[in-house]
Structure 1
Amino acid sequence: MLLGLKRRFLLHLLRDPAYRFLFDPPPQGESVSIDCETTGLNTRTDDIVTVAAVKIRGNRILTSERFEAMVKPRAKLNPDAIKVHRLREQDVAGGRPIEEVLPDLLRFIGSRPLVGFYLEFDVAMLNKHVRRLIGIDLPNAQIEVSGTYYERKYGDAPPGVEIDLRFMSILRDLGLPALDQHDAYSDALMTVMMHLTLEDYRARGVRIPRGRPRPIAFYGG
């Protein structure tokens, strides 16, 4: 009920009616995995350098329906960020302004739920620009992969159990392949694989500490 009221309030505040599609019912069984690489970790002062998204339909990863863009950031690249994603000032100088990238990204996402790993950060980085474009934050539902993993592995754990929610730890624990981490598209793709594996576990009532079944098969499209 509260979620519905919030969405109606956001729709009322929407500045540009061309983006009403963000409030449409999402396509049945579809979601979008999204990832951003940034100039640093400060959501107020840092900015996006690359953004990638890939659609999910049922248990299929639609690799043929992907979005990738390099963005020319307004903020300077933090040296620590360069060590992570290996993108230098000269690499991103030819990127498109976020004002050009964002409309294309929003049309790609549509009203689908967003899937991510520590998604709150990526959405916060995007919302700085989304607010300027349409007057509101992204209204899409959000699915946090680390939260699903926590529930499957630690939800019934006794007090004092050490908790590890690192990206690569989750990937290894689920028996999934490691791609080129800190590339936006690769991170979005690995996040999809974790998400679908965890959804399969949840659907079958499987808890991770009780044994890890073979990961389900994924199909490109």
Structure 2
Amino acid sequence: MSINKKELELNFFEPALGLIIANLEFLEEELRQEQVDTSRLNILIDNFNDLEKLEDFECTAETLVNLAKDFEKTIASKANLDQFKVMSYLYLATNLAKILENDGQLNEIISNIDNDENETEEQIIEFSKAQVIELIKEKYLLIKDEINQGLKVDDAFNKVLNILIKEEDFNEFNEGNSILIELLMNQFKIKESNIAQIFNWLIFNESIILLINFWEQSLSEMDEEN
């Protein structure tokens, strides 16, 4: 089964939009319980829900990116929150929005795919995985730089990070990235120096891994139906 680039964009866009909305709704619920004014967030969720075409996404995504710093400050100020969990909702939604923007990583991946009508979706997925691995490793190398500059992390974190920097099997990143997130949360508080940024890099990786997994899963379900 061959696929054109417009279909490919939709295969990424639809699950990503669903994940953005779901995570913003989780964020809204957590903030509402802390008596935080969520009116801007509610409007944002409504705008994402009401999108009718891809072209309308850019403005709404940019609004989310612009508001993200305010939401970060609010989360950081609420000591009763599970701050890593709540921040993960914000970071996942924001990273997905950036990935889907016209100048984001999704467009870069699609632009690099050959216009070969004989190429199957399975082949395109494998090609996309190779590109995603490079994006993931970019974030790991940024984390490695933080460690080299003096960030003290547990030996387990450093060991897993070094393994993933050399890894070439996409499937290994599913578990490996989750392990890094768990180890980071166990060792640090999100307010500690540079930890929020490192957490955001790991959630970026989680975001783009999720997109590939959703796409591959949808392809498998289509094959079963046929």
The TM-score range, normalised by the shorter chain, is: under 0.3
The alignment's TM-score, normalised by the length of structure 2, stands at: 0.26
The alignment's TM-score, normalised by the length of structure 1, stands at: 0.26
Question: Counting strand residues as a fraction of each chain, which structure ranks higher?
Answer: 1
Question: Counting helix residues as a fraction of each chain, which structure ranks higher?
Answer: 2
